[in-house]
Amino acid sequence: MSLLKVNYKDIITKTYEPNTSFLEISKDFKNYYNFPVLIAKVNNHIASLNDTVTRDCKVSFYDRSSHVGHFVYENTVQFIMIVAIKKILGRDTEVKIEHSIDNGVYCEITNRDINIDTIHKIESKMADIVADGLTIHKVSVSRVDAMQYFKNIGQYDKVKVLRYISNTYVNLYRLDNIYDYFYGELAPNTKKIDDFKVTYIKNNGFVLSYPTISVPECTLDYRHHKKLFDKFLEFTEWGRILEVENAADLNEYVSTGKYDDLIRISEAYFSGQLSEIADQIYENRKNIKLVLIAGPTSSGKTTTSKKLEVYLKSKGIITHQISVDDYFVDRARTPRDENGELDFESLRAIDVDAFNRDLTKLLDGERVLLPEYNFISGKREYKKKWLQLKTDNDIIIVEGLHGLNEELTMSIERRNKFKIYLSPLTQLNIDNHSRIHTSDARKLRRIVRDNRSRGYSATETLKMWNKIQEGENKYVFPYQDEADVIINSALVYELGILKTYAEPLLFSVDETEEVYPEALRLINFLRNFLPIPSEEVPNDSVLREFIGNSCFQK
């Protein structure tokens, strides 16, 4: 039998016996990576390291410092944690992975009482499982058989999610004779998952932390972000009250034709957050003169600021919006990033001094000529955009990337500012062990909006995403604790709506594109949801900012 040619990233070609595993092949290229290889890409398709080579191919690999590898690491360390918990507390122990927080995920054990000693035992058992280098087996079984298996062991969340999947066969993973279903691939053995921490929080809750893409070298100590944590818990509890905790719960609303009720309830919840904030601003209106709204991309900042204006005006507060973008420095002075590209997301790209001078004058009651940035010429222009705050009830609203950073508004006293952090903090899970990444919801929003309003293809948006996230990690997330309040702009029903818009765009990504594996991952992710028609989405919904027909976008 002739040897097969395997080309590694157009760097080198080697030959292997047919049916050699990619795990074995990866050993020949491990020097190209700083961390253990977790997954392969074969002819631009993601493949398990346990898969084997059957024909000539091109191959590359991912470790935990990459987006693909990090997703695999995350899934695998969570499976190891679940197995460790069942080994210590019993196989019928119910574990729920709730949401991301800091550098990990918040989890709860729902049918056992735990304390800090329990957490130490779980962490120790996880370390033993890793040290043993146990194989993680991927097993293809019929969907019906998988449903029956999970029904027999009482994991009805998995029975429900599998009910709505059209696949004839699904992949289960087995570790130390415990089976589980995960959305996405896992590493081939536990020895590759060599860094994590488990931190007890309170009651039955704890945080599992692990290395991040930005800091892949080690697991950082958990830092508690109380406001963000409490907002997640609030939304999670609200989902429990509605009985919409997992994808299958949402699908049940759709299949029974009750999604319109869910849309109205979700919109009322979002509006309720704005109403409460408007009350807070009104009660402190003698001090608050500047409202700053910041958050990562596709959080719905524009709609949120417009809707907040409506609530404030209903209380007699006069609002004025100022765009930070109009204070960009001339393009010739725009800083460049480490790759030599213009870095428009840097605070240095904004004329902070001019912005603060104008804010100070406005708050002193002066009449100010505001700039307008000409994005074609790359220069600020001054035309006839005058502004003056004439009453004690006038306030300025500013939304933008750097709103929470004190340096942006350094000339204004803190007591005169009200800072809002905005993000779609998704509480919905696929099932109890497979959470939905907040970044995935934002990514789908961005794909839909970019195509509708800018004419970008899904390919173009996906190619920009890593750069977008780098900006968020530098300029948004480090300042979230500066916020006075947090608004959750996630709508519990939105993935059913986004599916109808995003899925065709994702299918357009060509198989030869570098981002094709990510497009395929998102397509598979959306298969967990039934489509929801958008006719019932109100025109003032934050979701309209992305799918179109918003009353705030003329």
pLDDT tens for 345-359 read 899 999 999 999 999
**CA dist., res. 241 & res. 235, Å (int):** 10
Residues 274 and 136 both lie in one domain: no
In the prediction, which pLDDT does 272 show?
Answer: 97
Residues 205 and 297 both lie in one domain: no
Q: Name the least confident of 102-111, 331-340, 505-514.
A: 331-340
User: What is the domain-level CATH number for residue 30?
Assistant: 3.10.20.30
Domain boundary among 192, 223, 254: 223
In the prediction, which pLDDT does 243 show?
Answer: 93
Q: Which tens digits make up the pLDDT trace of 410-424?
A: 999 999 999 999 999
Element (H, E) at 206: strand 205-209
In the prediction, which pLDDT does 338 show?
Answer: 84
Q: Which tens digits make up the pLDDT trace of 20-52?
A: 999 999 999 999 999 999 999 999 999 999 999
Domain of residue 260 covers 234-318+394-547
Which tokens go with 257? 């034709």
In the prediction, which pLDDT does 45 show?
Answer: 95
Residues 120 and 186 both lie in one domain: yes
DSSP for 173-192, please give it. EEETTEEEE-SS---SBGGG
Residue 52 forms beta bridges with which residues? 21
**CA dist., res. 205 & res. 210, Å (int):** 17
Whether residue 10 lies inside any domain: the answer is: yes
Whether residue 165 lies inside any domain: the answer is: yes
In the prediction, which pLDDT does 263 show?
Answer: 97
Domain boundary among 21, 47, 63: 63
Q: Which tens digits make up the pLDDT trace of 249-285?
A: 999 999 999 999 999 999 999 999 999 999 999 999 9
Q: Average of pLDDT values for 147-151? A: 95
Residues 161 and 275 both lie in one domain: no
In the prediction, which pLDDT does 64 show?
Answer: 97
Element (H, E) at 293: strand 290-294
Domain boundary among 169, 202, 223: 223
Whether residue 495 lies inside any domain: the answer is: yes
Nearest in space to 118 (alpha carbons), one of 218, 20, 203: 203
Across the chain, mean pLDDT equals 94
Whether residue 256 lies inside any domain: the answer is: yes
Residues 72 and 212 both lie in one domain: yes
| pLDDT at position 167 over 90 | no
Whether residue 348 lies inside any domain: the answer is: no
Whether residue 376 lies inside any domain: the answer is: no
For helices 494-507 and 438-449, angle between their N-to-C axes, nearest 10 degrees: 60
Element (H, E) at 61: strand 57-62
Residues 121 and 21 both lie in one domain: no
User: Which letter does DSSP use for residue 409 in this model?
Assistant: G
Report the percent of the chain where pLDDT is more than 70. Answer: 100
Q: Which tens digits make up the pLDDT trace of 206-233?
A: 999 999 998 999 999 999 999 999 999 8
Q: How many domains does the chain have?
A: 3
In the prediction, which pLDDT does 55 show?
Answer: 96
Residues 154 and 211 both lie in one domain: yes
Q: Average of pLDDT values for 172-182? A: 94
**CA dist., res. 292 & res. 294, Å (int):** 7
Residues 29 and 83 both lie in one domain: no
pLDDT band at 554 (very low <50, low <70, confident <90, very high): low
User: What is the domain-level CATH number for residue 148?
Assistant: 3.30.980.10
Residue 395 forms beta bridges with which residues? 319
pTM of the model: 0.93
Bigger pLDDT: 156 vs 337: 156
Whether residue 491 lies inside any domain: the answer is: yes
Q: Which tens digits make up the pLDDT trace of 365-413?
A: 999 999 999 988 999 999 989 999 999 999 999 998 899 999 999 999 9
Whether residue 385 lies inside any domain: the answer is: no
Coil, strand or helix: which one is 487? strand
| pLDDT at position 54 over 90 | yes
Q: Average of pLDDT values for 521-540? A: 95
In the prediction, which pLDDT does 409 show?
Answer: 97
| pLDDT at position 193 over 70 | yes
Coil, strand or helix: which one is 197? strand
Coil, strand or helix: which one is 255? helix
Report residue 101: phi and psi, to 5°: -160, 130
Report the percent of the chain where pLDDT is more than 90. Answer: 90
Residues 135 and 214 both lie in one domain: yes
Q: Which tens digits make up the pLDDT trace of 434-490?
A: 999 989 999 999 999 999 999 999 999 999 999 899 899 999 999 999 999 999 999
Alpha helices in 48-190 (DSSP H): 67-89, 116-131, 143-152, 156-163
Residues 42 and 57 both lie in one domain: yes
pLDDT band at 1 (very low <50, low <70, confident <90, very high): low
pLDDT band at 84 (very low <50, low <70, confident <90, very high): very high
Alpha helices in 364-475 (DSSP H): 438-449, 458-475
CA 41 to chain centre: 23
**CA dist., res. 496 & res. 507, Å (int):** 17
Residues 59 and 75 both lie in one domain: no
Alpha helices in 489-537 (DSSP H): 494-507, 516-526
Name 103's Cβ contacts closer than 8 Å, sequence gap at least 6. 209, 210, 211, 212, 215, 219, 220, 222
Residues 462 and 514 both lie in one domain: yes
| pLDDT at position 53 over 90 | yes
Coil, strand or helix: which one is 416? helix
